A and B are shown apart, each in its own frame.
Chain A
Amino acid sequence: MLHTPGNPVTAHRPGVLHSKKQQHWVETESRRYIPAPQESVIGVIVHRSAEAYRVDLGSAHLATLDALAFEGATKRNRPALKVGNLVYARVSLANRDMDPELECFDATTRKADGFGELKDGFMVECSLGTCRKLLDSTHFLLPALAQKFPFEVAVGVNGRVWVRAGSTKATIGVSRAIQMLDNRRTSDEEVASYIQQMDV
């Protein structure tokens, strides 16, 4: 995405150019995430210490998640995340000279706001563009799936989608649909018909 007031606007990444009023952005096929503040991401805990977790976002650097940046966390009562757990978090600090920082609550209300550990389920990796499509409430995929069966989903803009449905088969169904959407060689129609024929 690119937004530069004044001066001629130049793209610095390849992709499809979109324009809306004064804004222009480039949709890329990129899979490499560059953290930006306030974005929701899915991370994997790769290291834990007394004060903080180190989290992999699929970006160039590991992010830091303070052990106290959870709803209801106190010095005595901290979340017990293990290495390998998934967390849904918000980027609270993204500075190109420092490792990004995450939080699992709203810093003002200290409420979880949907963030925190993601239990069970499965995580699908896809391009950043596919993630943005899924976040677009007008996109057909998630509503179409929801017609078939209920499921939970968390979309991180860093190219990761977490899915949990009632059965293993249903979870596989959702993740396959997302992967098909991600695949350049399958058209939206094919994805839609796959969902229609899905037998869960």
Chain B
Amino acid sequence: MSRFEPLNAGNLRSDGRRPLELRSFSAELTTHPSADGSASVSHGLTQVTACVYGPREAKNRAQTMHDRALVNIEVEVAPWAGEVRRQRTKGDRRTAEFAASVKATFEPVIQTTLYPRSEIDIHIHVLQLDGGLLQAGINATTLALVDAGIPMLDYVSSLSAGLYHTTAMLDLTNLEESDLPSVTVAVLPRSGKVTLVSMETRLHVDRFEEMFKLAMEGGKVLRGEMDKVVRERTKVLARQMEGGAAQDEDRMETDDL
């Protein structure tokens, strides 16, 4: 039915990218000063914000765990996020599944055992959606957790990949996602291990490996981009806190923000 051509004759994708080129990535930390940590992440037109509260006293004591912190995820998709206006209800299965995946991804990475009986609440807002919901949600959550100063074993960076005939491509848009077999992975870059793999489209076993491994490589590259943002922010904070000593540079840094 679709006349959409994922790759043109010049080996370029519909938005002009080369197959392994990522969309423009940008991130900002402490977007919500009232949260303990927050971050906003954009992959092209997809924009997701995450706010972290905690570790803090659990609201629902029956749910607490005696040996570690409870991680709660709430996801909200803005009605205007997708192409068609849609108001999602609380019980929406897709949203619930998304929240469950993010939760299971971060539970083993956050050092929850340092905070018994506490809870860490993570609120994810999807402000705009053009493919890569899971990857943007995971990346925003990673950055928000770093921003909140919650100890983690590593970054978690996530990326999607697809396959058109034999060409693998990274960081899919909505159009590509709906047309190509695709996989989303989340990696722990230091160990190179994969914590999340999600594929929902039919693909022969033999063609899976290349796409899967490329997505993992891409995820590691993305970690570098995320770390840049974190370091920039940490540098600014550190200078400001030092006070008088580095005043001049300090001002330059704040101007950059």
Contacts and interface: CB of A to CB of B under 8 A. Distances in A.
Do chains A and B make direct contact within the complex (CB under 8 angstroms)? Answer: yes
Interface of A: 47-48, 83
Nearest to B67: A83
Nearest to A47: B66
A29 to B, nearest CB: 32
4 contacts: A47-B66, A48-B66, A83-B66, A83-B67
Interface in B44-80: 66-67
Contacts of A48: 66
A83 B67 CA distance: 9
A131 B66 CA distance: 31
A83 B64 CA distance: 13
Instruction: List the 4 shortest-distance A-B pairs measured between CB atoms, nearest first.
Output: A83-B66, A83-B67, A47-B66, A48-B66
A56 to B, nearest CB: 14
Contacts of B67: 83
A48 B67 CA distance: 12
B32 to A, nearest CB: 36
Contacts of B66: 47-48, 83
Nearest to A48: B66
Nearest to B65: A83
A47 B66 CA distance: 8
Contacts, number: 4
B112 to A, nearest CB: 15
A42 to B, nearest CB: 21
Contacts of A47: 66
B248 to A, nearest CB: 55
A1 to B, nearest CB: 35
A83 B66 CA distance: 8
Contacts of A83: 66-67
A48 B66 CA distance: 9
A189 B48 CA distance: 64
B58 to A, nearest CB: 15
A47 B67 CA distance: 11
A22 to B, nearest CB: 48
A83 B68 CA distance: 12
B64 to A, nearest CB: 11
Nearest to B66: A83
B89 to A, nearest CB: 35
A139 to B, nearest CB: 39
B61 to A, nearest CB: 12
A45 to B, nearest CB: 10
B191 to A, nearest CB: 28
A79 to B, nearest CB: 17
A83 B116 CA distance: 13
A82 B67 CA distance: 10
B67 to A, nearest CB: 7
Interface string B108-138: 0000000000000000000000000000000
A48 B117 CA distance: 13
A44 to B, nearest CB: 13
A37 B230 CA distance: 62
A47 B62 CA distance: 12
Interface in B136-195: none
A132 to B, nearest CB: 34
A123 to B, nearest CB: 20
B104 to A, nearest CB: 22
B30 to A, nearest CB: 37
A12 B85 CA distance: 59
A131 B26 CA distance: 63
A1 B67 CA distance: 40
A53 to B, nearest CB: 12
B192 to A, nearest CB: 33
